[in-house]
Copies of this chain bind each other. A is one copy, B any other.
Amino acid sequence: MTHYPAYRAAAVQAAPEYLDTPATIEKACRLIDEAAGNGAELIAFPEVFVSAYPYWNWTMTPVQGGPWFERLYRSAIDVPGPEVATLGAAAQAAGSTVVIGVNERDPHSMGTVYNTMLFIGPDGELLGAHRKLVPTWAEKLSWGCGDGSSLRVYDTPAGRLGGLACGENTNTLARFALLAQGEQVHVASYIALPVAPADYDMVEAIKTRAAAHSFEGKVFTVVACAALTPTIVETVAHDTGARELLQRPHSAFSGIFGPDGRLIGDGLIDEEGIVYADIDVSQEIQAKQMHDIIGHYNRFDVFSLTVHRDPKPAVTLTENDTPAGPPEPPAGITDHDVA
């Protein structure tokens, strides 16, 4: 830990080509190219940018929304797989580290889709994939739960990089699990959420969590949130109530927070765009002098946290006395684990 990267980061606030995975991958590649053209060495995309957030779970009853699940499943991708390869090629062409959310098909079950964040290195290599641990409320109707195996921090040219999806940033223990691995830069990916109860202000909810994570951990937090387009609203809204709900403003926010918990420059609300900020990892050193919760300011004689990272496959198949592991280990993933 003797290198303290300083570089420009980009948070992409954009909408997918809804449920159209090839077109969305193309759009993602275009945005990587644009952000890299503006000097970004770390480019963060929203949650499940590829290629749909299941809004129907919030606006329809489960029975109404049922058939939409198949559309989600069919638009989801395999990890690794051809779409990941295309994104990797774009990252490599840009020379940037890319974090992007996708819907991932379970390698064996036709009934389980994961909300997954991909971490791709500037050499185009897939560093890892994090499946969201618990979907939030209505999202439970569409996504399965990941296991602890993906709670990892990756050593990248953009610093020690971790990430959590949306509501996971509320989870004190998940956040600490990444900080404790030496996380220097955190990507918090979100989707636009106009469909929550009326008193839920998504912009504030995003800011509170980003500020807290940056302040507690003395890290940079890059928030990349999805935007909603009229096309998406039109696709999903099945009646007037749903259409109105989906158009509620102040539902998306992207921006970059410093290790003092404050927003750097401006954030972007609702609209599509790319926010840039300069990150200097060495600024975290002095900030930690006051409170270093993974070091001198904590008490590990009092608190002991264990994170169970063993994969939990549906079945373990052993051959010749050694476990063959889960049926389809994502062979393309290099373990940049700190342990």
Interface on A for B, CB 8 Å cutoff? 1-2, 4, 57-63, 66-67, 69-70, 73-74, 78, 105-112, 133-134, 136-138, 140-141, 143-145, 147-149, 151, 167, 170-177, 179-182, 184, 195-197, 199-201, 204-205, 208-209, 211-212, 215-216, 218, 245, 260-262, 281-282, 284-310, 312-321, 323-325, 327-328, 338-339
Contact = CB atoms under 8 A, between A and B. Distances in A.
A113 to B, nearest CB: 8
B170 A299 contact: no
Contacts of A309: 302, 317-319, 324
Contact of A172 (B293, B321, B338): B293
A44 B87 CA distance: 43
Given A109-B288, A212-B209, A299-B133, A315 B307 contact: yes
A197 B63 contact: yes
Given A294-B109, A298-B171, A319 B315 contact: no
Binding site of A, secondary structure by majority: helix, strand, loop or mixed? loop
B62 A138 contact: yes
Given A66-B197, A208-B211, A209-B215, A177 B315 contact: yes
* Copies in the assembly, this chain: 6
Contacts of A105: 1-2
A304 to B, nearest CB: 5
Contacts of A300: 147, 312-314
Nearest to A218: B111
A204 B328 contact: no
A108 B1 contact: yes
A4 B74 CA distance: 10
Contacts of A297: 111, 134, 136, 167, 170-171
Nearest to A77: B2
Nearest to A138: B62
B61 A299 contact: no
A201 B284 CA distance: 16
A336 B164 CA distance: 36
A310 B316 contact: no
Contacts of A138: 61-62, 141
A213 to B, nearest CB: 8
A132 B161 CA distance: 30
Given A2-B78, A314-B180, A302 B107 contact: no
A255 to B, nearest CB: 15
A257 to B, nearest CB: 10
A133 to B, nearest CB: 5
B328 A318 contact: no
